[in-house]
Amino acid sequence: MTKKLLSIVVSVYNEELSLHAFYDTVSEVLQNLTWDYELIFVNDGSRDKSLDILKDLAGQNKKIKVIDFSRNYGHEAAMIAGIDHAKGDGIVCMDADLQHPPHMLPAIVEQFEDGYDVVSLVREANADNGIFHTLAVKAFYTMMNMMVQGSLEENASDFIAVSARAASVLRSDYREKVRFLRGYVQLLGFRRTRLTYEASNRVAGESKYNFRQLFKLAITSMCTLSDAPLRFGFHCGVVTGLFGLLVLIYTLYQNHVRHVGVHNALLIIVLCFLSAVMMILIGVLGEYMSVLLAEVKDRPIYLVADIIGDEEERSAS
């Protein structure tokens, strides 16, 4: 009987210090699985020696495939590229810094064997995250669940697992240029379950996301998963209109009943408030227009410079 195949998709960007440790750790786990496996490393335009290390690993293990991007396209593009090239009955996306623990793979395979199509890996704790980051993540998921029809798992990460059936939907129907894959996966439907894990310290290096990038990711997720911010503009218009009516009534009362002029400071405050609301709404429209522009341009999500370790696919491309 032919074994089922598990595809492990690993996004790589300047991970030369962690690749060997990751490969040694994940290989030990994969050798004890009941499923066969393939390791798909997506080199996302690394500027260090990551690609050289991946080529060496591919030469040592025929089950390794390396997708080398023409340039850096970002983590989202790397994950969908790995899914596009995966052949497995189940697919797992994870990072190379060992914060996504490989020892969870047997439990994921068990969920696939039980018939689940989507496995959400949810962080219970993260040794690298401070209090501010933890609170920000909690606020983000609370806000997103208020806007999105459907429930997003709180603290769900880019450590995700999907069946071949779910992956085929991601390949054919979820091809937006501006993407939030962990959100798409949770909204696919099908049979879905969750597993919890504790993220360890990074084996090497540091987070590729700074505060500005995390903020941009939050804005992207809102624009791709919900149109609630657009409707928020209407509610802001109603509220500011009522506020302006109250200011008008107050001004008329001061002038015609109390015969007292309204202080200029009040008018300045009102004008600043209304201007701030207008700028925020214009900014929201700008973000959605940016997403629409990317879709209208219809440029590729990623371009592959080379495929290493899979001669059949390489010749086909």
Is position 93 within any domain?
yes
Whether the pLDDT of residue 191 is over 80: the answer is yes
What is the residue type of 239? V
Our count of domains for the chain comes to: 2
Q: Using CA atoms of 277, 279, 282, 286 in order, give the dihedral in degrees to the nearest 10.
A: -130
Per residue in 200-213, pLDDT tens?
Answer: 766 665 555 556 66
201 shares its domain with 106: yes
For the entire predicted model, the pTM comes to 0.75
59 shares its domain with 204: yes
181 shares its domain with 263: no
Whether the pLDDT of residue 10 is over 90: the answer is yes
64 shares its domain with 12: yes
Whether the pLDDT of residue 65 is over 70: the answer is yes
Is position 136 within any domain?
no
Q: Show the tokens assigned to 226.
A: 């919900």
Residues paired with residue 125 on neighbouring β-strands, in sequence order = 198
How far is C-alpha 114 from the geometric centre of its chain's CA atoms?
A: 26
Asked whether 90 and 163 are in contact (CB, 8 A), the reply is yes
Q: Compute the mean pLDDT over every residue in the chain, rounded to the nearest whole number.
A: 81
305 shares its domain with 284: no
242 shares its domain with 175: no
Is position 266 within any domain?
yes
Q: Give how far Cα 148 sits from Cα of 153, 211, 229, 290, Å.
A: 12, 24, 11, 20
Domain span including residue 271: 228-297
Is position 216 within any domain?
no
Residue listed under structure tokens 């064997």: 113
Is position 241 within any domain?
yes
Dihedral pair phi/psi, residue 63, rounded to 5°? -90, 5
45 shares its domain with 114: yes
308 shares its domain with 289: no
Q: At a CB cut-off of 8 Å and minimum separation 6, what does 200 contact?
A: 98, 99, 101, 127
270 shares its domain with 312: no
Q: Show the tokens assigned to 67.
A: 């997708």
| Burial class of residue 56 (count of CB atoms within 10 Å of its CB; 0-12, 13-18, 19+) | middle
Q: Residue 315 has what pLDDT?
A: 43
Is position 140 within any domain?
no
Q: Return d(Cα 6, Cα 164) in angstroms, integer.
A: 10
123 shares its domain with 267: no
3-state secondary structure string, the chain?
A: CCCCEEEEEEEECCCCCCHHHHHHHHHHHHCCCCCEEEEEEEECCCCCCHHHHHHHHHHHCCCEEEEEECCCCCHHHHHHHHHHHCCCCEEEEEECCCCCCHHHHHHHHHHHHCCCCEEEEEEEEECCCCHHHHHHHHHHHHHHHHHCCCCCCCCEEEEEEEEHHHHHHHHHCCCCCCCCHHHHHHCCCCCEEEEEEEECCCCCCCCCCCHHHHHHHHHHHHHHHCCHHHHHHHHHHHHHHHHHHHHHHHHHHHHHCCCCCCCHHHHHHHHHHHHHHHHHHHHHHHHHHHHHHHHHHCCCCCCEEEEECCHHHHHHC
Average pLDDT, integer, range 292-304 = 85
Is position 189 within any domain?
yes
Confidence of residue 233 (pLDDT cuts 50, 70, 90): confident
Q: Residue 213 has what pLDDT?
A: 63
108 shares its domain with 18: yes
Identify which has the larger pLDDT, 278 or 37. Answer: 37
Domain of 101, CATH number, reads 3.90.550.10
Q: Which of 20-29, 76-85, 120-129, 273-282 is predicted least confidently?
A: 120-129
234 shares its domain with 107: no
Residue listed under structure tokens 């995966």: 86
Is position 163 within any domain?
yes
Q: Return d(Cα 90, Cα 75) in angstroms, integer.
A: 20
